[in-house]
Structure 1
Amino acid sequence: MTTNGTQSHPLFGGSFSAVLPPDAIDVSDLREVADNQEVFVHSRTDQSIIIELLEHQDQVPDQDAARYHFDDVAASNEASPEVLSVELVDTEQIALQELSSAWFLSGRQRVAKFAEQARNTVNIHLVLFRLPQYSTDILITFNDPIVISPLSSSSTGAESAQTGGPSANSGQPWTLEHFRTTVQSFQLLEPAVFS
Structure 2
Amino acid sequence: MPFIQDAETAGSAPLTYVPASLYGGAITCLLPSNFADVSDLRQVPDHQEVYLDKDGYTSIVVDILERVEKENDQEALKYHLKDLVQEDEGEVTTWNISEVKMGKLHEIDWCGKGEEMLMYNAVRRDTIPAYTLLATTPPGARQRGRAHEPDFVGVLLLLIRLVEQKTDVLVAVNVPHIPGHYVAGEVDLERRMTGGLLRVGGEIREKIVESLEIKDWELFVQE
TM over 0.5: yes
Alpha carbons 2:95, 2:133 under 8 Å: kept: yes
CA 1:112–1:57: 2 relative to 1, 3 Å:
closer
Instruction: Report which of the two structures shows the higher radius of gyration computed on alpha carbons.
Output: 2
Alpha carbons 1:5, 1:19 under 8 Å: kept: no
CA deviation after TM superposition for structure 1 residue 78, in Å: 7.0
Q: Percent identity?
A: 28
Alpha carbons 1:80, 1:109 under 8 Å: kept: yes
Judge which range, 112-121 or 133-142, deviates more: 112-121
Query: Is the aligned partner of 1:190 residue 2:199?
Result: no
Alpha carbons 1:79, 1:112 under 8 Å: kept: no
Matched residue SS, 2:164: helix
Equivalence for 2:106: 97
Root mean square deviation of aligned Cα: 2.5
Normalising by structure 1, we get a TM-score of 0.77
Matches for 1:74-89 after TM superposition, within 5 Å: 74-75=85-86, 80-89=91-100
Alpha carbons 2:29, 2:213 under 8 Å: kept: yes
CA deviation after TM superposition for structure 1 residue 107, in Å: 0.4
CA deviation after TM superposition for structure 1 residue 96, in Å: 1.4
Equivalence for 1:117: 145
Gapped regions of structure 2 (runs ≥ 5):
1-14, 108-126, 183-195
Gapped regions of structure 1 (runs ≥ 5):
150-154, 160-171
Matched residue SS, 2:17: coil
Matches for 1:47-86 after TM superposition, within 5 Å: 47-75=58-86, 80-86=91-97
Distance in 1 between residues matched to 2:64 and 2:90, nearest whole Å: 22
Equivalence for 2:36: 25
Matched residue SS, 2:161: strand
Query: Is the aligned partner of 1:140 residue 2:149?
Result: no
1:106-125 residue CA offsets vs partner (Å, 9 max, x unmatched): 00011236364365201111
Equivalence for 1:163: none
